[in-house]
Structure 1
Amino acid sequence: MSRVVYKTLVSAADKFVPSKLRPLWEHEAGPKTIFFWAPAFKWALVAASIDEYRRPLDKVSTTQSATLSATGLIWTRYCLVIRPINYALSLCNFTLGLANGIQCYRAYNYQRKMGM
């Protein structure tokens, strides 16, 4: 059902894409594919991770931050070996890994200093 709705929306939008944007629209990792939409929505996870910097360090889970960091960095590599190569998703995953790596380091340092 959702596949039919998606194809209908793409077909309707197809008529309105200007010729200058047509190469992007038709690209194998363009808006017609999951390769485009996965990073578009995953940036919300990156934003939430960066927003966590405002959270008190005694409330930050080092396990969760380390897991998200590892996941981001592992998937960064994967995005560079799949076909088509998905640079947008790779950048998103790298940013997720970096943001959570920094948060994990901050929380670990805090817990070490507090003797937790």
Structure 2
Amino acid sequence: MYVCSKISKLYQGIVAACDKFVPASLRPLWEHPAGPKTIFFWAPAFKWGLVIGGLGDIKRPADKLSVPQITSLAATGLIWSRYSLVIVPKNYSLFAVNVFVAAINTYQLGRAVTHRQLAKK
């Protein structure tokens, strides 16, 4: 708990130092309840890594795809897409990344299922 408190204080110090340099045109984003000062901004930003990973898997042979993994990622994307629009504040960046996570993994799931059906024949 003590380490988290120190990291939180450090982060708050960095944000306070950056406050001086944020131009007026970016102030609404900076001050938004889901802006860069909060986890509501950073969690979706890092979640784009799942989208990039999914795009990288497009070239992977369909027989090498993990159906349980892509199914869970697609379901997670759908669930969190809905959740991001019912929480306060609405988090449109979380919505966008989860729509992409759901879309890319639904596509991958289609590839994997099609491959397995054709392999049975």
TM bucket, shorter chain: over 0.9
Displacement, 1:85?
0.3
Displacement, 1:62?
1.2
Q: 2:107 aligns with which of 102, 106, 110?
A: 102
Displacement, 1:57?
0.9
Which residue of structure 2 aligns with residue 87 of structure 1?
92
What aligned pairs does 1:58-69 form with structure 2 within 5 A after superposition? 58-69=63-74
Which residue of structure 1 aligns with residue 39 of structure 2?
34
Tell me the TM-score normalised to structure 2 length: 0.92
Displacement, 1:3?
0.4
Which residue of structure 1 aligns with residue 3 of structure 2?
none
What aligned pairs does 1:21-60 form with structure 2 within 5 A after superposition? 21-60=26-65
Query: What CA deviation, in whole Å up to 9, does each residue of 1:56-96 have, x standing for no partner?
Result: 11110111111100010011000000000001101110110
State how far apart, in whole Å, the 1-side matches of 2:22 and 2:51 are. 29
Q: Which amino acid aligns with 1:101?
A: T
State how far apart, in whole Å, the 2-side matches of 1:76 and 1:49 are. 17
CA RMSD of aligned residues (A): 1.1
> What secondary structure does 2:22 align onto?
coil
Tell me the TM-score normalised to structure 1 length: 0.96
2:14 is equivalent to residue 9 of structure 1: yes
State how far apart, in whole Å, the 1-side matches of 2:28 and 2:65 are. 44
Superposed structure 1 runs of 4+ greater than 2 Å apart: none
Structure 1, unpaired ranges of 5+? none
Structure 2, unpaired ranges of 5+? 1-5
State how far apart, in whole Å, the 2-side matches of 1:24 and 1:100 are. 30
